[in-house]
Amino acid sequence: MGVPIFITAVTNCCWIGADNCVILGILGTDLSWISKVQVNHPAVLRRAQQVQARRTVKKEWQAAWLLKAVTFIDLTTLSGDDTSSNVQRLCYKAKYPIREDLLKALNMHDKDITTAAVCVYPARVCDAVRALKAAGCNIPVASVATGFPAGQTHLKTRLEEIRLAVEDGATEIDVVINRSLVLTGQWEALYDEIRQFRKACGEAHLKTILATGELGSLTNVYKASMIAMMAGSDFIKTSTGKETVNATFPVAIVMLRAIRDFFWKTGNKIGFKPAGGIRSAKDALAWLSLIKEELGDEWLKPELFRIGASTLLSDIERQIYHHVTGRYAAYHDLPMS
């Protein structure tokens, strides 16, 4: 691929595969290895340009990939005016993401296509759990937590927020890190904080949001990714969707290379979730292509790849409607989430 993306990577570190694959020495005070990591910024940008310039698939292949993309979506509502009724509508849309007649036309009506999860604020977890139970499905409920989106509340409060969301029925917790720990190079403190998040989650999956648009550099993105995985995260996630800059391909490439490094060193597969600004079917296809190229088909399943989105599903359904009917849908043709 030409010039390496990492000038100094973690190849000389000593790893062990125990207790969430912690790096040997991380429990002590020596984290000098992480200060040596540098990301080759121009090489990352060149790789990102290659991804964005690639032509997308067409016709029935596009329809197939878009249906697959639906199964990766964490269908999300994180608005200040969320109510139990709009959460209920969201859950119904999660179970029936594509109109049934369109699925029948594609001979996919019996494949039980749903979104990967429903993502809400902690106060709306109970609403989502009830709505999904009433709909007779077992789609996971994900809850943001830890002072989302800024992560600037007291640690005790952030931990309690996780516990309450889990008690209410959330099986996935999307936490935000304290960005100041990254910006000031306090890697041990960041590790300790995420370990406490991990413990508070219990059996729930931990998805750690790095808020990459606020980390200052791609090198910090790599370092934070590595610390989050070492501390026991099941997923690393790009953004809250509330930052000025959210999911971008350069950031994703760095995070995916970190996931690959972690897998090579430990044998553990960590999931990846881009979020924020992914709104079109074309965007979704580009993200799936990137995952396939960087990590392989093994990561193209909901257990290891998610897309955080609130409006993406609508455009995917419009594109599938066009594929089936040959025309674009009017506003009233497709159900609202």
Which residues are tagged catalytic?
Answer: 174, 237, 273
**272 and 37 Cβ atoms separated by less than 8 Å:** no
- Per DSSP bridges, beta strands 38-39 and 6-8 are antiparallel
* CA contacts within 13 A on the Cβ side of 75: 29
Tell me whether the omega of the peptide bond preceding residue 149 falls within 30 degrees of 0, making it cis: yes
Listed residue (40, 16, 41) closest to 27, CA to CA: 16
CA distance 100 to 57: 24
SS3 188: helix
CA distance 106 to 321: 10
Residue 131 CB contacts under 8 Å (≥ 6 apart), including other chains: 87, 88, 90, 91, 92
CA distance 197 to 163: 9
CA distance 72 to 275: 12
Q: What is the DSSP letter of 122?
A: G
